[in-house]
Amino acid sequence: MNKYKIIESSFRILRRNKLNTFFMILGIVIGIAALSLTFSLGKSAEKQLTQKVKNLFNPNNILITSGRVELESGRSSESSMTNLKIEDIEMIVNEVHGITMYDVIQTTPERDVIFGNKNISTAINGGMAEGEIVWRRSVASGEYFSKADEKSSARVALIGTKIVKKLFEGSDPVGSQIRIGAVPFTVKGVLEERGIDPHGTDLDMNVIVPITTLMNRLMNVNYIAGAKLEVEDASKTEEIAGKITSVLRERHSLNNNETNDFSIVTPVVVKEIIGKMNRVFTLFLPLISGIALVVGGVVIVVIMLMSVSRRVSEIGLRKALGARSQEIMFQFLVEAAVVSLFGGIIGLTIGLLGAGVFMSSMGLTFYIPWQTILFGILFPIMIGVLAGIIPARKAAKMDPIEALS
């Protein structure tokens, strides 16, 4: 029998058995939709988070934090967070050669930022004038605060674009006065847009004030949360990190048997963290959603076996008229593959649309990885053929005399 006629017959049978066809397609649709959704979201998130980490942390950066901090979560795993001082960082810069610049870090809990009759709650960050270079983030309008502002604990602030939209309704806020709690501040500049950082913090909700202003006027503390250092030679970051450890352990009077009361993050550590993120996004998430695809394959096997049982007379008649076992098997494999491919295309479309809507609602750029398209087409065909083998072999081995009796 001509293969084109077999394929035509397969389509005709699928159209005739609409309910069976629907349930077989549905199983694949759910599996491929879940797979393409999670894989697309994972790849998009991986690409953007990796880029954000690289933007925040270059190969010539070293990050020092008070306490033992897990970079993946941004949370401290120890209670001591008051042991790191600006004097510690100054001592490091003086004693360890190769450090060109640094910025210190301190953050308040959420505070009310008020303008007129509008207010918004957000954390307030303290930094140095060098932060514009160290963090590679300048202002879109106005100007960054200066060393003079820092030395005088000036009440000036840099604010993110989302705060501008919410408090100033898009108008230029530079020169306007806001209040952080009860303390008045003058808006000196609007920060460049940055989006969400790897910890999930919206950087466009940032308010940055001089570190001295934050410590003396808003928090009344003498310690910092951390510091980011710029190293002249990126190849020496690990060596410099070792020297920094020695300086801090000596300044904090730590004995040989005592663990560090600080953390040092180098590019090597960041690379390991990015590798962990990549494994989660590209392996574990698709693996979980792949279970739904296996279930879809099982559904096809069950329904196709039921179809063979119902079509015993048809199969017997065709074999009595000269149809070979290979042709019978080919027809059932075609039916399974066509149903799977059709379900895969629908599932792929639903998954990509869902990923696009989700990423858009999160304010993130949607990225369609080529692997999603490839898997969305090849996986259904493979599942369909594998799922159709058992029913096809059963139909092909059927004895025409017994089938017609």
Quick one: 312 and 364 in the same domain? yes
Quick one: 131 and 256 in the same domain? yes
Answer yes or no: is 73 within a domain.
no
Quick one: 198 and 90 in the same domain? yes
Residue 282 scores a pLDDT above 90? no
Q: What is the pLDDT of residue 240?
A: 94
Quick one: 165 and 96 in the same domain? yes
| Of the residues 260, 284, 300, the one at which a domain ends | 260
Confidence grade of residue 2 (pLDDT, cut at 50, 70, 90): low
Quick one: 118 and 194 in the same domain? yes
Q: What is the pLDDT of residue 354?
A: 85
| Alpha carbon distance 348, 354 (integer Å) | 10
Quick one: 256 and 287 in the same domain? no
Confidence grade of residue 355 (pLDDT, cut at 50, 70, 90): confident
| Of the residues 260, 283, 318, the one at which a domain ends | 260
Confidence grade of residue 398 (pLDDT, cut at 50, 70, 90): low
> Quick one: CA dihedral 363, 367, 371, 373, positive or negative?
positive
Answer yes or no: is 66 within a domain.
no
Quick one: 302 and 240 in the same domain? no
| Domain span at 144 | 84-260
Answer yes or no: is 267 within a domain.
no
- Tens of pLDDT, residue by residue over 228-276, are 999 999 889 989 999 999 999 999 999 988 888 898 988 777 777 666 7
At residue 389, φ and ψ (nearest 5 deg) are -65, -45
Q: pTM higher than 0.75, yes or no?
A: no
Q: What is the pLDDT of residue 386?
A: 75
Answer yes or no: is 397 within a domain.
yes
Confidence grade of residue 288 (pLDDT, cut at 50, 70, 90): low
- Tens of pLDDT, residue by residue over 183-207, are 999 999 999 998 877 666 888 999 9
Quick one: 243 and 299 in the same domain? no
Selection from 148, 155, 165 nearest residue 124 by Cα: 155
Answer yes or no: is 35 within a domain.
yes
Quick one: 245 and 96 in the same domain? yes
Range 304-322 average pLDDT: 66
- Tens of pLDDT, residue by residue over 208-241, are 999 999 999 999 999 999 999 999 998 899 899 9
Q: What is the pLDDT of residue 13?
A: 67
Range 346-354 average pLDDT: 86
User: What percent of the chain lies above the pLDDT cut of 90?
Assistant: 39
Answer yes or no: is 224 within a domain.
yes
Look at 330 and 66; give whichever has higher pLDDT.
Answer: 66
| Of the residues 260, 292, 309, the one at which a domain ends | 260
**Looking at the 3D structure of the chain, how many domains does it have?**
2
283 exposed, middle or buried (CB, 10 Å; 0-12, 13-18, 19+)? exposed
Quick one: 236 and 282 in the same domain? no
- Among the residue ranges 89-93, 385-389, 393-397, the one predicted with the least confidence is 393-397
Quick one: 137 and 18 in the same domain? no
- Tens of pLDDT, residue by residue over 29-40, are 887 887 778 777
Range 335-355 average pLDDT: 84
Answer yes or no: is 58 within a domain.
no
Quick one: 253 and 281 in the same domain? no
Q: What is the pLDDT of residue 75?
A: 39
Answer yes or no: is 64 within a domain.
no
